Amino acid sequence: MIDLHVIQAIRARWIRSGLLFFTILIIIRFFYLQILSIENFTRYSEANSVRRIPLTAARGQLLDANGVILVDNRPSYSLFAIPQKFLNDTIAVQLLMQLTGMRKKEVYNRLAAREIRPFHPVRILRDIDFETLTHVEENRESLPGLYVQVEPVRAYSDTIRASHILGYVGEANKKDLESSELHSLQMGDLVGKSGVEKAYDDVLRGTRGYRLSLVDAIGREVADYSNKEDILPVPGKNLQLTLLIDLQMRAEQLLHDLRGSIVVVDPQTGGILAMVSAPDFPLTVFARHLAPEVWNGLINDEDSPLLNRALQAQLPPGSVYKLVSSFAGFDQGVINSVDTLYCSGGFRIGRRRFPCWKEEGHGSMTFITAIAQSCNSYFYNLSQQLDISDWQKWGHLLGFGRIADIDVAQELPGLLPDKNYMDKKYGIGGWTSGQMANLIIGQGDLLVTPIQVAQLAMIIANKGRRERMHITGAVENGIGELQAYQWDSQQIDLPKSSIDLIIEGMKEAVQGKHGSATLARCPGIIVCGKTGSAQNPHGDSHAWFVGFAPMVNPRIAVAVVIENGGSGGAVAAPVAGALFRSFFKGAGNE
């Protein structure tokens, strides 16, 4: 029989062995957790207490041709939220709505990225005012996962607006993220949406950085967590534009309360010196959170302020297109310097009489006087001697019916009808010589954009040389210097005899006693120009002017259109004259 004391001794030994075994296991586990796995668990701890805060890079500045800052950056306060922490608290969402005026749907839409990256900070509001900032800070404990960060936002010149040229920025959307050219973007990053901001976004945007920060249980930042993982943002590069701020300001003043466009170009380089589309919009509304009612107001405005009329308004050109028709006439040998046509106030084609704008008639017209006084009868006669293919060929050669390929893009091509177009629209044999008479004077189915008309002025001023028009002149290189962009040019074969006669006619239109564009004169400078009054079915005629100055070695080419303005000579020519005088003010002009 086993002794009871022996049994108790054996049991005690097993108990001691078990305790020793579990003690050794605990020691080993503690060693594993505290020594071997300390790096992994430190990362887990940091994931809960250390926030990786993205730092927005300052966008590059936009400068005018003389280095004047047009668009800069200023510090502002932005609200960010960690979706997983913030959206789980419905009371916090309600409080945010009360403090900021945001709608519930708007809050949830802006935090839509939570499904992909629930712990990645998402910007809720940009450029909040100090009052909102104060309210948020006072209620921080009730807003888990919400924090405030200083970010750069766009600051604009108070001298000019240049809305359609400079463009605006906005937060990247899904379409931006899917673009192969913007593969480095994240939801919420600011990208260019129009104008120079969009065309040169990859240059201006820079590279974001990151800062690590310690936060408490409700997401409040309690201290910096500086270490080697911090990455400073790299600012974007500066761009120097070809704009002249004084000329841009004058052009904007001239179109105040009007609807139309001005394009001013340096014919020697193709650089845009001023470009206005009126009405426009204040870029400052895009610098901060854009309220839906503000956006809806812009897109539903009947005057279409978001439309860049310089590049996208497709209008009949009226008599300014007689310059293009003239090239076709010279090319076919049906115009010369000596033949005349008598204008009695109209021209008969078949059984229909087409009126000239001057009811009593111009009398005997040579080509030069026909251009100078914009005689319709002279060009009605020309229309009967030209085939539409010859006319269309020269329109295409001089840049119509296709985009001018300016560097800010977003252009529309206008409409340059050819025989196939006319046959398709009116039926084979369904269109008449009367429709050709309308096309030859810039009416009918022909549509052009102001930038195309400015390009025509440049080509004529250069006697055939077409410089690619552009707004950006130079970009900052890696050592902080501005390096000029190189733009291409093209020589169009224009017979010297025809170009000289066309320029002479344009000179007489401005400088001559009976010219149609005398209100475009600039004292001390020989200005060459052509007016147009393009009829349209939606109201008064569009007033046009196209021209350049001086006649020899031109320095400036101008296209002006005032929609529903009436007479080109009475309305558009004075605007052009003011621009010429402003540009040449160093020669003693205003």
| CATH code of residue 114 | 3.90.1310.10
Domain presence at residue 508: yes
Residues 233 and 258 in one domain: no
Using DSSP's 3-state secondary structure scheme, residue 238 falls into coil
Based on the fold, state whether residues 131 and 25 are members of the same structural domain.
no
Q: Judge whether 231 lies within some domain.
A: yes
Residue 300 maps to a domain: no
Crossing angle (nearest 10°) for helices 388-397 and 322-331: 120
pLDDT number for residue 1: 52
Tell me the residue range of the domain where 30 lies.
4-36
Say which CATH number the domain at 553 has: 3.40.710.10
* Residue 174, amino acid: K
Which residues are CB-neighbours of 188 under 8 A, at least 6 positions away?
Answer: 113, 122, 123, 171, 172
- Helix (H, G, I), strand (E, B), or coil: what is residue 201? helix
Alpha helix locations (H) across 127-274? 130-138, 163-166, 174-178, 195-199, 201-204, 245-254
Residue 547 lies in a domain: yes
Strand ranges for 446-520 from DSSP E: 465-467, 472-476, 482-484, 489-491
- Domain membership flag for residue 323: yes
Report the phi/psi class of residue 231: left, alpha or beta, with left for phi > 0 and alpha for psi in -120 to 50: beta
Number of domains making up the chain: 3
Query: Cα(363)–Cα(122) distance, rounded to whole angstroms?
Result: 73
At 247, list the tokens: 């000329």
- Picking from 184, 207, 241, the residue at the C-terminal end of a domain is 241
Q: To which residue do tokens 């935090």 refer?
A: 111
Q: Based on the domain organization, do 19 and 114 belong to the same domain?
A: no
Q: Are residues 361 and 222 in the same domain?
A: no
Residues in the chain: 590
* Lookup result for tokens 């004077």: 441
CA-CA distances (angstroms) from residue 389 to 353, 417, 418?
24, 9, 6
DSSP structural state of residue 58: P
Are both 202 and 276 inside the same structural domain?
no
CA distance 137 to 131: 10
Q: Which amino acid is at 481?
A: E
Does residue 218 sit in the same domain as residue 118? yes
Q: Is 244 exposed, middle or buried (0-12, 13-18, 19+ CB in 10 A)?
A: buried
In a domain, 374, yes or no: yes
Burial class from Cβ neighbours inside 10 Å (0-12, 13-18, 19+) for residue 364 reads exposed
Of the candidates 246, 249, 279, the residue with the CA atom closest to the CA atom of residue 261? 279
Examine the domain organization and report whether 113 and 249 are in the same domain. Answer: no
Task: Report residue 2 as tokens.
Answer: 């086993």
In this structure, what token pair is assigned to residue 557?
């080419």
Please tell me whether residues 373 and 441 are part of one structural domain.
yes
One-letter identity of residue 534: A
With respect to residue 546, please indicate whether it lies within any of the assigned structural domains. Answer: yes
Phi, psi of 376 (to 5 degrees): -70, -40
Residue 489 has φ and ψ, to the nearest 5°, of -140, 165
Whether residue 320 is found in the same domain as residue 366: yes
Asked if 10 and 66 sit in the same domain, the reply is no
Residues 278 and 146 in one domain: no
Which residues on adjacent β-strands are paired with residue 261?
A: 277, 561
Q: Please, which residues have CB within 8 angstroms of residue 185's CB and are 6 or more apart in sequence?
A: 172, 176, 177, 179, 191
**pLDDT (0 to 100) of residue 590:** 42
Between CA 151 and CA 479 the distance in angstroms is 25
- Strands 239-241 and 62-63, bridge-based pairing: parallel
Among 442, 410, 434, 435, residue whose Cα is nearest residue 421: 435
pLDDT, block means (10 residues), the chain with 590 residues: 67 75 75 63 55 85 97 93 80 89 83 63 86 89 86 93 95 75 72 95 90 65 63 93 98 97 98 98 86 88 95 97 97 93 94 93 96 97 95 97 93 97 93 94 97 98 98 90 94 91 98 96 97 90 98 98 96 98 69
Strand positions, DSSP E, 430-575: 465-467, 472-476, 482-484, 489-491, 528-536, 539-549, 556-562
> What is the per-residue pLDDT for 391?
97
d(CA 568, CA 306): 25
- Residue type at 54 in one-letter notation: P
Report the C-alpha gap between 182 and 145 in whole angstroms: 29
> What's the gap between Cα 390 and its chain centre?
35
Question: Is the residue at 144 inside a domain?
Answer: yes
What one-letter code names the amino acid at 43? R
State the angle between helix axes of 376-383 and 433-440 in degrees (0 to 180), rounded to the nearest 10.
130
CB 79 within 8 A of CB 93: no
- Do 63 and 134 lie in one domain? The reply is yes
